[in-house]
Homo-oligomer: A and B are copies of this chain.
Amino acid sequence: MHILIIGAAGMVGRKLAQKLAADGALDGKTIEAMTQVDVVAPAAPAGFTGKVEALTADLSTAGEAEKLVAKRPDVIFHLAAIVSGEAELDFDRGYRINLDGTRYLFDAIRIAHGEDGYTPRVVFTSSIAVFGAPLPYPIPDEFHTTPLTSYGTQKAICELLLSDYSRRGFFEGIGIRLPTICIRPGLPNKAASGFFSNILREPLVGKEAILPVSDGVRHWHTSPRSAVGFLIHGATIDTALVGPRRNLSMPGLSATVGEQIEALRRVAGDKAVALIRREPDEMIMKMCAGWAPGFEAKRATELGFTAEKSFDEIIRAHIDDELGGKL
């Protein structure tokens, strides 16, 4: 089996490649080759015995998608996108990369399908940003997508294309609406939602973190480990069970900031919690009010997608995966 990961240098892309390398197989079939693509060179996953190819390519450049499809990968994970903030600041770049790039990929597959019947599995990472306030809690599977960012708009459009191209039989698409990833490893970043991870990741290693919102703010989370699990399950699930509605809101954990903090206290003690410094930020609080508080995720749950059931679990997953299991 040949797997193509587009957006392989990103946090989720790297973890996905690493997990596939560790498993060595997908859906019971040996992974003979993995092609990793990103705008910066992706690092090869450790311990993989198959063939690895790391390519630097921009999917939104005409002709690039055709080259990737020419090798007829069996499974394509499409994770490449510029993030919400950047897509909002640079309108043209957002539409070019997040929409046109995806359409180039889908059309390259469609044309290959016309040539020789090629019908790969395509796992696309969408986002809860396809939803826009006002939002109910929990958000049902049948709630409409009315994004309030260009990023969310681009993801919602790609979801529609994914469903239509799948319905036409050009490929077998699955759209995975990822919750906010928590705890995001690495350094604190400037994303407005970064604090959800910062207030746990930093105190776990004895560092201070800033909390810009009140304890009552509720949001929808999943660990990087679960996110990778969603993608792999999406690559192997029987699409006949999914039917024509190919975009699924993933399960996750709805929690308030206060609940996050209490989980941190249970796992790492009062000393860790004391490292959270409250610096209310009006702008971030206002943005938060429009974010998804939580989903029913009935269909995805019935289809076998699973996530953490408590923030304690999410914190322990981080300690295992990022801190070598030790506090």
Interface residues of A (CB under 8 A from B): 91, 110, 132, 141-148, 150, 153, 156-157, 160-161, 163-164, 167-168, 244-245
Chain B residues with CB under 8 Å of A132's CB are 244-245
Report yes or no: B168 in contact with A164, Cβ–Cβ below 8 A: no
Pairs across A and B, CB under 8 Å, 22 listed: A91-B110, A91-B168, A132-B244, A132-B245, A141-B144, A142-B143, A142-B144, A144-B145, A145-B160, A146-B163, A146-B244, A147-B160, A147-B163, A148-B167, A150-B168, A153-B160, A153-B161, A153-B163, A156-B160, A157-B160, A157-B161, A160-B160
Interface centre among A110, A147, A164, A244 (most CB of B within 10 A): A164
Shortest A248–chain B CB gap in Å is 12
Number of copies: 2
Report yes or no: A144 in contact with B144, Cβ–Cβ below 8 A: yes
Chain B residues with CB under 8 Å of A164's CB are 147, 150, 153
Q: How far is the CA of A150 from the CA of B244 in the complex (A)?
A: 13
Chain B residues with CB under 8 Å of A142's CB are 143-144
Q: How far is the CA of A71 from the CA of B141 in the complex (A)?
A: 44
Q: How far is the CA of A163 from the CA of B153 in the complex (A)?
A: 9
Chain B residues with CB under 8 Å of A167's CB are 148
Closest 7 CB pairs of A and B: A153-B164, A144-B144, A146-B245, A157-B157, A142-B144, A153-B160, A156-B160
Chain B residues with CB under 8 Å of A163's CB are 146-147, 153
